[in-house]
Amino acid sequence: MRYQKANAVLAGVFVLFLVLWMLARVYPDQALLRAALITAEAALVGGVADWFAVTALFRKPLGFPWHTALVPRNRDRVTRAVIQMIERDLLSADIIRAKLAQVRLIDILIAWLDQPGVLAFLEERLADYLQNWKSDRLYQKTLRFLEKPLKRQLRDKPLAGKVTVWLKGFLTDGREAPWVELAIEALRRWNDSPAALAQIRRYVDDQVAAKRSGGGLLADLFLSTVVLADAFNPADAAAAIQQQAGQLLREMGDEAHPMRQTLRQLLIDKVEQLDEDPVWNAAVEAWKVTLIDALSIGGALATLVPEGEDDRRLKDKLELLWVQIKGDQALLDWLEGHLQATVALLIAANHHRVGELVEDVLATFSTDDLVRFVEDKSERDLQWIRINGSVVGGVVGLGSYLFVEWVYLPLWAGFFSR
C-alpha cells in the first residue's frame, strides 16, 4: 500500500480532530481546548488538500474530473521530461566523461585479459588465425590492399622534424649516456687491439715520411724536433699514442669528464641547427622514402609467423610480448590516453542513444505502468509533501488562533471601548 506514513498521519489528525471537537462541545469555555481544536482542524484541512493535490497527479480523487490525472493526460510531456532529465542531468555526456576519467581503462582491460583462460583463448585463436591466414588465397590481395594506402600515408608524413625533436630530447634528457658509454667501451676495446696499434703505426710512419719529405704544418708540429735529431722510434711512438688514447677513453667513462661534456654540448648545438639545415631534411626524407619502398607487410608477418613454426613457439612469443606490454608504463599510459580519447568520441557520437533508449523503454509502458513508474520513483517525496501539508496547516491554524485571540480581538475591543 502506498503512502502508509502519510495516510497514518492524516487518519491520526482526523481522529484527533473528532476527539477535540467532542471535548469542545462538552467544555466550550476552555481556551486551550479551542486552540487545540483549531490547530487540528487546520492540520486536517492541510492534509486533505495535499492528499487531493498528490492524488490528482496520477488519478481522479473522488472522481473529480477537472485538472486531475495530470500524468496520464500529459503522457507525452511527461515522457519528454523524463528523457531530458536523464539525458541532460543524470547521464549527460559531461557526467559520463567525468566518471570514466576517474577510471583507468587500461587496467580494467589488463585485469580482464589476465583472468584464467582468457589470454590463453585469445592466443590460441590468434595463432590459428595467423597460421591459416598465410595460406588463405585472399592473403596476397589483402596485403596489396593494405600496403598501398599505408605507404602513401607514411610518405605524406614529414619525418625530419620529428627526428630532430627526438634527438633534442634524447640529448637534453641525458638518455644518450648509456649509448655513449657503449661507444666509448667499443672504442676502448678496439684501441687495445693489435689492429689499432698497426693502424696507429701506419699513421706515424706516414707522418714521419711527410716530415722528411718536407711535409706541411701538421707534420712539422708532430715531429719537428725528434725526427731532426734522429731520436724518434715509430714503434714506441705508436705504443705511447695507443696508451694515451686508452687512458683518455677510460677517463671519458665518467659523465663529468670535460671532453665528454664538450662533445655532448657540440652535439646539442649541432642538433639545434638541424631544423634549418636543408641537406639534413632532404637526407632524412630520402631515407624515409627508401625505407617505405622497401617495407613489406607480408615480410613483417612472415617474421612474426615464420613458415613451419609450431603453435607452442608462436604462443610463447605472444606471451612474451604481453609481459613486455604490461611492464612498459609509458606504453600503458599512451594506450590509456587513446582509450579515453576513443571512449570520449564514442560518447559524443552516441550520447543521443541514451534518450532513444529511455524513449523506447517508456513506449512499452501502458498508461498505468507509467503512472506506477513515476509514482514509485517519487513516492517518498510525495509522501512527505502530504505529511508537511498537515504539519504546516496545523502551524498556520495555531498561529492564526493566537493572532486573533491575543492581538486582533484585544485591539478591536480597545478600539470600541474608547
In a domain, 35, yes or no: yes
143 falls within a domain: no
Cα separation, 314 vs 301, whole angstroms: 12
By the 8 A CB rule, do 383 and 5 touch? yes
Domain that holds residue 40: 1-50
What are the DSSP E strand ranges found in 311-363?
A: none
> Does residue 28 lie in a domain region?
yes
In-domain check, residue 111: no
Q: Does 225 score more than 50 pLDDT?
A: no
Select, from the ranges 6-15, 148-157, 263-272, the one with the highest average predicted confidence (pLDDT). 6-15
pLDDT grade, residue 228 (50/70/90)?
Answer: very low
Give percent of the chain above pLDDT 70.
Answer: 84
pLDDT at 226 over 70: no
Q: End of a domain among 242, 272, 302? A: 272
- Residue 110 lies inside a defined structural domain of this protein: no
Residue 113 included in any domain: no
pLDDT tens for each residue of 44-81: 999 999 999 998 988 888 888 888 888 888 888 888 88
Cβ proximity of 302 and 195 under 8 Å: no
> Locate cell 637534453: which residue?
172
Higher pLDDT, 362 or 400: 400
Of 252, 272, 292, the one marking the end of a domain is 272
For the packed helices 177-191 and 234-251, what is the interaxial angle rounded to 10 degrees?
Answer: 160
pLDDT band for 19, please (50, 70, 90 cuts): very high
Q: Are 127 and 315 in contact (CB under 8 A)?
A: yes
> Which phi-psi region, left, alpha or beta, contains residue 306 (left: φ > 0; alpha: ψ -120 to 50)?
beta
Res 136 pLDDT > 50: yes
Question: Pick from 243, 272, 301: which residue ends a domain?
Answer: 272
Confirm whether pTM is higher than 0.95: no
Query: Is 199 within the bounds of a domain?
Result: yes
* Nearest 10 degrees: Cα torsion 45, 51, 54, 60: -110
Q: Please, which contacts does 310-318 make with residues 24 or more away whose CB atoms are closer than 8 Å?
A: 311/124, 311/127, 311/128, 311/131, 314/127, 314/130, 314/131, 315/123, 315/124, 315/127, 318/123, 318/126, 318/127
- Domain assignment present for 225: yes
Quote the number of domains for the chain: 2
Instruction: Please compute the mean of the pLDDT values over residues 167-188 and round it to a whole number.
Output: 78
